[in-house]
Structure 1
Amino acid sequence: MRKINLIVLLLFAMTMLQAQAQQQPLPPLVNVSGVGEVKVQPTEVVVNLGVETREKTLDAARSETDKKAAAIINYLKKQGVDAKDIQTSYVTLQPMHNGGEYGRTTPDFYLAQKNMTVTIKILNRFDEILSGIYNVGANHVHGINFQVTDLEKYKAEARKKAVADAKQKASALTAELDAKIGRVYAINEGGSGGGPRPMYKSAMMESAAYDGAGGPSIAGGEVVVTANVDVSFIIE
C-alpha cells in the first residue's frame, strides 16, 4: 500500500512540474467588448388575452367561459389565424366569497378564467382582429409583444456587427499608444449582455378600436436584436 501511495505522489509531482514548465507568460493583449445591433420591422404580434366569467353555479361559470373561448377561436380562424398559432395558456375555476356571515361555506359566485396566447401574422389587420376578439367574448388583454419570424438571420447580422465593433475599438486604443493589433488571442460571445436576444420597444394599447383620427391604435415600432462579444487581440 505504501508503495502504491509513493507512486501516486511521484506521478502527481511529475504532472505539476510539467504543468509549470508548460506555463508561458501571456503576450501583451488589448481586451475589448463589441456590441452589434440590428433594427427590423416586426412580422408578427403575440397577444395574451383572457376570458373571465362570474356565475352563481360552477357549471354555469365553466360553460359560459368555454362558450366564449370557443367563439374567440372560431373568430380567429375565420380571420385567417392558423390553429397552431392559438394556444390555451391558463385555466382556473374557483369559488369566491365576499365575506358576510361567519362560517358560511356557500360561495357568493364562481369565477372561471381562461387565457389564450395568439400569434397574429396579419399586422395590417391587427386592430380590426383585436376589436373582433373583444366583441366575441374576450374580457381583457394581458400583453402584446411584437417580434420577427426569422430571428436567427438577424442574430447573425448583429453578431457580425459586434465583432467589427470590437475590432474598431481595439484598433483605436492601440493607435493612441503608437501600436497596432495583431491576431485574435481569444473571443467570447455573450459578455454582460448575455448573447443575442430580441428587445422590444414598448407598444402601448390605447384602445381595441381605431383612434379619433381613424388610424391604428397599436404601434409596432421596431424589434432590436443585439449581440455582445468579448475579444482579446495581441498587441504588436
Structure 2
Amino acid sequence: MRRIVFSAIAWTLLVGWAWAETAPPVLSVSGAGQVAVVPDMAVISLGVVHVDKTAGAAMAKVGADARALIDVLGGEGVAARDIQTSQLSVGPVWDTRASGPRTITGFEARTMVTVRVRDLDGLGAVLDKVLDAGANTFNGLSFQVQDPSAAEAEARAAAVREALEKAQQLSAAAGLTLGPVLRLSEGGAGGPRPELFAARAADVPIAAGEVTIRATVSMEFALEP
C-alpha cells in the first residue's frame, strides 16, 4: 500500500515538473496613447482677503465682497452649480517686527471660490468683472474638457495598438509566435499642456492651449514556438 501511495506521489510530482518545464513563456509589454483636444471649460480659483482690527469686521468685509462676487458670476451666466466656496478662514495678524513678545495687530479674513466657466469666449469678461467686484486674490486657472470620454476611448485604442506592435516586434525578433492575450490592464492620466490655440475675450488675452488625454495599458501574451 505504501508503495502505491509513494508511486502516486512521485507520478504527481513528475507531471507537475514536466508541465512547468513545458509551460509557454509569457511576454509582457506596455503601451501608451495620447490625444490632444481643445478645451471647452476653464476652472479658476479666486477670492477675497481683508484685514481689519477685529475678526468680525474683517469677515464682514469679506462676506460683502464674496456676495458681490457671486452675484457678478451669476450675471455673467455662470450657473450656481459651477460656483463653490473652497476656503473660508479668519486668523490673527501678528506684529513680527517688535523685539519683545509678539502682539496681534489685527485679523485677516479670507475666502476662496472655485469657478467653472463653460463659455471660454466670455472668460476674459468674467475675470474683468470679478476683479471689479472686489476679488483681490487669484490662485490660478486651468483648462479642462467637459466630456473627455471620446478622447479617452481614442487614447486607449492608441495605447493598445502600441502594445500590440511592441509584442509583435519582440516575438518576431525572438523567433516565436505571438499567442493569445493572457492579461490586459489599464492605467491613465490627463492634464493640460499649453499649445498654439488662443482666444481673446474682453481686454484679457486667454491662451487656452490643449488638454492632452493620456492612457496606458499593460498586456501579457503567451508565446508559442
Normalising to structure 1: TM-score of the pair?
0.78
- Secondary structure of 1:166 counterpart: helix
Report % sequence identity: 35
**1:226 is matched with which residue?**
214
The change in CA–CA distance for 1:23 and 1:123 in structure 2 (over 3 A counts) is: farther
**1:51 is matched with which residue?**
48
Structure 1 residue 179: Cα displacement: 3.7
The answer (yes or no) to whether the contact 2:69–2:133 under 8 Å persists in 1 is yes
- Secondary structure of 1:77 counterpart: helix
Letter in 2 for 1:153: A
Check if 1:112 corresponds to 2:109. Answer: yes
The answer (yes or no) to whether the contact 1:148–1:223 under 8 Å persists in 2 is yes
The answer (yes or no) to whether the contact 1:158–1:196 under 8 Å persists in 2 is no
Unaligned runs of 5+ in 1: 1-13, 190-194, 211-215
The answer (yes or no) to whether the contact 2:49–2:109 under 8 Å persists in 1 is yes
The change in CA–CA distance for 1:140 and 1:158 in structure 2 (over 3 A counts) is: same
**1:81 is matched with which residue?**
78
The change in CA–CA distance for 1:101 and 1:177 in structure 2 (over 3 A counts) is: closer
Provide the rounded CA distance (Å) in 2 between the counterparts of 1:61 and 1:158: 49
Check if 1:197 corresponds to 2:197. Answer: no
Deviates more, 1:121-130 or 1:91-100: 91-100
Letter in 2 for 1:157: E
Indicate the RMSD between aligned Cα atoms, in angstroms. 2.5
Provide the rounded CA distance (Å) in 2 between the counterparts of 1:85 and 1:149: 12
**1:31 is matched with which residue?**
28
Length, aligned pairs only: 205
Letter in 2 for 1:165: E
Unaligned runs of 5+ in 2: 1-8, 196-200
**1:4 is matched with which residue?**
none
**1:95 is matched with which residue?**
92
